[in-house]
Amino acid sequence: MSDLILTTLMTEHPTDSHTLSRYEAAGGYAALRAALGMKPEEIVEQVKASNLRGRGGAGFPTGVKWGFLAGGGERYLVVNADESEPGTFKDRQLLERDPHQVLEGILISAFALGVHRVFVYVRGEYSRPARRMQAAIDEARGAGLVGDDVVGSGYGIEVSVHLGAGAYICGEETALLNSLEGRRGEPRIKPPFPAVEGLYALPTIVNNVETLANIPWIVTNGGATYDSIGPEGSRGTRLFSLSGHVERPGNYEIVMGMSWRELIYDVGGGIRDGRDLKAWIPGGASAPWFVPEPHLDTPVTNDDVGRLGSMLGSGAVVVMDETTNVVAAALSIVKFFAHESCGQCTPCREGTTWMEQILERILHGGGRPTDLDLLLDISDNISPGLRWPPVMTTICPLGPSAVSPITSIMRHFRGEVEEMVMAGAAHV
Amino acid sequence: MRAWSDETMERARSLVASYPEARSAVMPLLYLAMREEGGSLSDDGMRVVADLIGLTPVQVKAVASFYTMYKRHVGRHLVSVCTSISCHLLGADEVLTAAAAEVGVPVGGTAADGSVTVEGVECIGACGGAVAVQVDYEFVEGVTPDAARSLCRWLIDESPETVHSDAMQERFGGRTAFDWGSEDPTEAVGPMPAFGPYGTAGGA
């Protein structure tokens, strides 16, 4: 059995892995046919047994989430394809290169959850992934895999693609639901959680693209088999997006548990031009940074990264070499969150912009000696105690995410920031 | 108020009917409105959307103004340079500056002849192919400042009717975030995502 779950077909058949004929030739949709012969609750049990954790960022166990879906009546499955976390480009590859694997996961999950209507919310900038997903749905409908009577089972399902329009916050599941309802993409106060009151106030499960792409394999091979891959708490394989100053950037499907050194140096080919590693972000722009000492030889697992005060998040590893100006890098991230703040909560709306302005002036030679404490004070007002996972003063985690680069540079590179303030000029 | 074509109105009504609640059609209909107006969103366009869905124009405007892709003023082609962390680390600022200089506009500006708008954008999901650029939401990856200048010069001089991602990548791109695999035949028309089901430019 191959070590890979998600990327086998696209690796072996680069020219047509996105087509129905290639997908079916490789055994595709057999899992759906098998699932339609199972009781829905049996499928939910398999997913629970697999210990698959959500791949969108929060890492919540998928089967447990499914278990929260309120009973009776109409309900929805919404696919979160609003991939926008800086550093992350894995769902895009799944949608472009193997959309049928995603669709089969959607159909099986919908059947398991008693859903008859699915919306795939694709970020607006993802034209090609949206086209590929739509083409896959159309092909599947033509083959009787989507529609009123899926392969003669009597089960009916409709799947539609809904295009976003440029708002990172819509990756937050309740903001996504508001957006899909035709509203501003502002996160909702929870509870109620979407599983109880989601789209149109009906029970709704929101799952990430990569999460759902694992479902056909779990149905075929069993939840227990999935649960035997990788260390406890980090089961299965996972797509990591490597970017930044790494020699071989790209998406890599790996079994978790290897060290960061192995991921960055063996998988990613090390640092470009033989330079030294300065820092990396282990799980997307929201995550607190890691540095070689003490993190390089620690394991890449949810639990280890969590214990060390960060997260695997969306699986985006952004590598920074010794030449990196950490204030400029932090500014890029804070600017992102300031731009993407929806504006509902004062600490986030005001705090992110304020932090952006302070970093900007430090970078351009206008820093003040009080700026370091001011940055930490603002951070503490957004997320009291500066801990990870963060304490929240806001409806959603966007505000606390903007604090991550600040605490990271203060913790690991305070000398550099001070020097820049004192020099009164950026040493870029 | 300029009326939409019969074909677009029909498409808009079927989109409204396709959702469990009409209001969900606001976003696709705003894209339709942009197409009807040649790529930019107007107050008139938003009024038509409001009528079709049964909202007030202000409600529609409140939604439209939340999202960056519903643009009020944009050139025939939109060049979006990613400036988020991975692209930042590999020189996004230089690429953005080069593109804006070639077009002769400040960042966010549109050429006097209306040919090209250059903007800096947040992460577009091509981080392994930094510096990433989109033209009318079609990817070009691994773009250098020189390539960005050539790309903008081409858009200004040739004023192509459509743009095609694979062809632009071949001519102006470098390293990609991942192997793109087979080509995608779709060509984007104008500064909107080419995604057929919503009746935006290009696509089915």
Per-residue pLDDT band at B202 (split at 50, 70, 90): very low
Q: Do domains B6-64 and B77-172 have the same CATH topology?
A: no
CATH architecture for segment(s) B77-172 = 3-Layer(aba) Sandwich (3.40)
Q: Which residues of B touch A178 (CB under 8 A)?
A: none
Measure in Å the smallest separation between the Cα of B111 and chain A Cα atoms. 22
B contact residues 52-71, partner A, Cβ 8 Å cutoff: 53, 62-63, 66-70
Residue by residue, DSSP assigns A294-328 as HHTTSB-SHHHHHHTT---TTSEEEEEETT--HHH
Share of chain A above pLDDT 90, in %: 97
Q: Which amino acid is at B120?
A: G
User: What is the DSSP code (8-state) at residue A208?
Assistant: E
Phi, psi (deg, nearest 5) at residue A182:
85, 30
CB contact under 8 A, A184 and B66: yes
B21 Cβ under 8 Å from any chain A Cβ? yes
Q: Which residues of B touch A185 (CB under 8 A)?
A: 66-67
**A207 bridge partner residues:** A79
A368 Cβ under 8 Å from any chain B Cβ? no
CB contact under 8 A, B122 and A318: no
The tokens 């990327």 sit on which residue? A7
Burial class of residue A161, CB neighbours in 10 A (0-12, 13-18, 19+): buried
Q: Which residues of A touch B94 (CB under 8 A)?
A: none
A15 Cβ under 8 Å from any chain B Cβ? yes
B203 has pLDDT over 80: no
Share of chain B above pLDDT 90, in %: 90
CA nearest to B27, candidates A141, A203, A196, A119: A119
Measure in Å the smallest separation between the Cα of B106 and chain A Cα atoms. 19
ipTM: 0.97
Higher pLDDT, B198 or A85: A85
Domain locations in chain B as residue ranges: 6-64, 77-172
CA nearest to A310, candidates A231, A386, A210, A253: A386
Q: If residue B168 lies in a helix (H) or strand (E), which one and from where to where?
A: helix B165-172
Using one digit for the tens of pLDDT, what is the confidence trace for A117-169? 999 999 999 999 999 999 999 999 999 999 999 999 999 999 999 999 999 99
Pick from B28, B128, B186: which is nearest to A250 by CB? B128
A167 Cβ under 8 Å from any chain B Cβ? yes
CB contact under 8 A, B127 and A134: no
Using one digit for the tens of pLDDT, what is the confidence trace for B116-150? 999 999 999 999 999 999 999 999 999 999 999 99
Per-residue pLDDT band at A95 (split at 50, 70, 90): very high
Q: Which residues of A touch B62 (CB under 8 A)?
A: 184
Confidence at residue A71, expressed as pLDDT on a 0 to 100 scale: 84
Confidence at residue B109, expressed as pLDDT on a 0 to 100 scale: 98
> Which residue in chain A is spatially nearest to B193 when comparing CA positions?
A127
Confidence at residue A378, expressed as pLDDT on a 0 to 100 scale: 98
Task: Note whether B117 and B109 are within 8 A (CB).
Answer: yes
Section B177-193 average pLDDT = 93
The per-residue pLDDT of chain A, averaged, comes to: 96
Q: Which residues of B touch A91 (CB under 8 A)?
A: 125
Task: Note whether A329 and A406 are within 8 A (CB).
Answer: no
Q: If residue A420 lies in a helix (H) or strand (E), which one and from where to where?
A: helix A398-423
CB atoms within 10 A of CB A114: 17
CB contact under 8 A, B20 and A200: yes
Measure in Å the smallest separation between the Cα of A98 and chain B Cα atoms. 10
A contact residues 206-245, partner B, Cβ 8 Å cutoff: 241-245
Confidence at residue B128, expressed as pLDDT on a 0 to 100 scale: 98
Per-residue pLDDT band at A2 (split at 50, 70, 90): low
B58 has pLDDT over 50: yes
DSSP, collapsed to helix, strand or coil, labels residue B79 as strand
Residue by residue, DSSP assigns A235-263 as -SEEEEEEEESBSS-EEEEEETTSBHHII
B168 Cβ under 8 Å from any chain A Cβ? no
Domains along chain A with CATH numbers = 8-226 (3.40.50.11540), 237-321 (3.10.20.600), 326-423 (1.20.1440.230)
Per-residue pLDDT band at B1 (split at 50, 70, 90): low
The tokens 């203060």 sit on which residue? A410
A contact residues 173-212, partner B, Cβ 8 Å cutoff: 179-185, 200
Pick from A10, A161, A185: which is nearest to B181 by CB? A10
Question: What is the token pair recorded at A59?
Answer: 């890492």
Confidence at residue B31, expressed as pLDDT on a 0 to 100 scale: 95
Q: Which residues of A touch B63 (CB under 8 A)?
A: 182-184
Question: What is the token pair recorded at A309?
Answer: 């005060």
Q: Are strands A237-244 and A250-255 parallel, antiparallel or unpaired?
A: antiparallel
| Domain B6-64 coded CATH 1.10.287 | no
Q: Which amino acid is at A351?
A: G
Using one digit for the tens of pLDDT, what is the confidence trace for A353-370? 999 999 999 999 999 999
Measured distance CA(B188)–CA(B200) in Å, rounded = 9
Q: What is the C-alpha radius of gyration for chain A, rounded to an integer number of angstroms?
A: 22
B114 Cβ under 8 Å from any chain A Cβ? no
A contact residues 278-297, partner B, Cβ 8 Å cutoff: 281, 285
Burial class of residue A266, CB neighbours in 10 A (0-12, 13-18, 19+): exposed
B contact residues 65-104, partner A, Cβ 8 Å cutoff: 66-70, 80, 83-86, 88-90
Measure in Å the smallest separation between the Cα of B170 and chain A Cα atoms. 17
Measure in Å the smallest separation between the Cα of A224 and chain B Cα atoms. 31
The per-residue pLDDT of chain B, averaged, comes to: 94
**A80 bridge partner residues:** A121, A208
CB contact under 8 A, B83 and A168: no
Using one digit for the tens of pLDDT, what is the confidence trace for A260-314? 999 999 999 999 999 999 999 999 999 999 999 999 999 999 999 999 999 999 9
CB contact under 8 A, A250 and B24: no
CB contact under 8 A, A162 and B27: yes
> Which residue in chain B is spatially nearest to A83 when comparing CA positions?
B125
Using one digit for the tens of pLDDT, what is the confidence trace for A40-72? 999 999 999 999 999 999 999 999 999 999 988
Pick from B69, B127, B134: which is nearest to A243 by CB? B127
Confidence at residue A426, expressed as pLDDT on a 0 to 100 scale: 46
